[in-house]
Amino acid sequence: MKIMIDRNRCEGKATCLDVCPEDVFELQKPAKQELSWQSRIKLKFHGGEQAFAVNEGSCTGCELCVEHCPEKAISLDNHDSDQRKDPESFYDPGS
């Protein structure tokens, strides 16, 4: 699962940290060269930090971060909604 965070949208409100059951996210200071000048100004007024997927390998694909991000800055790549890795959707070939 690849987690993509749009650096020009994320305002570091930490909603993703609050809703993620796997502790995938962490607030950090972004590299300024990754941001447009408008985003640099916005970042200054929103605490100077953004969300980063520091434990991306722990992501189960539940999409709570995507659904709850107020800036719509998070998206998941290679995600098949029928193949979510939550306990209720596991396929057990032995059953």
Label each residue of 53-94 as H, E or C. Answer: ECCHHHCCCCCHHHHHCCCCCEEEECCCHHHCCCHHHCCCCC
The Cα angle at residue 11 between residues 10 and 14, in degrees rounded to 5: 90
Range of the domain at 38: 2-79
Total domain count for the chain? 1
Is 66 within the bounds of a domain?
Answer: yes
The pLDDT, as a whole number, for residue 43 is 87
* CATH number of the domain that residue 69 is part of: 3.30.70.20
Per-residue pLDDT of the chain (95 residues; tens, 9 = 90+): 899 999 999 999 999 999 999 999 999 999 888 889 999 998 888 899 999 999 999 999 999 999 999 999 999 997 454 444 444 443 444 44
Instruction: Supply the pTM of this predicted model.
Output: 0.77
The pLDDT, as a whole number, for residue 1 is 84
Is 51 within the bounds of a domain?
Answer: yes
Is 85 within the bounds of a domain?
Answer: no
Is 87 within the bounds of a domain?
Answer: no
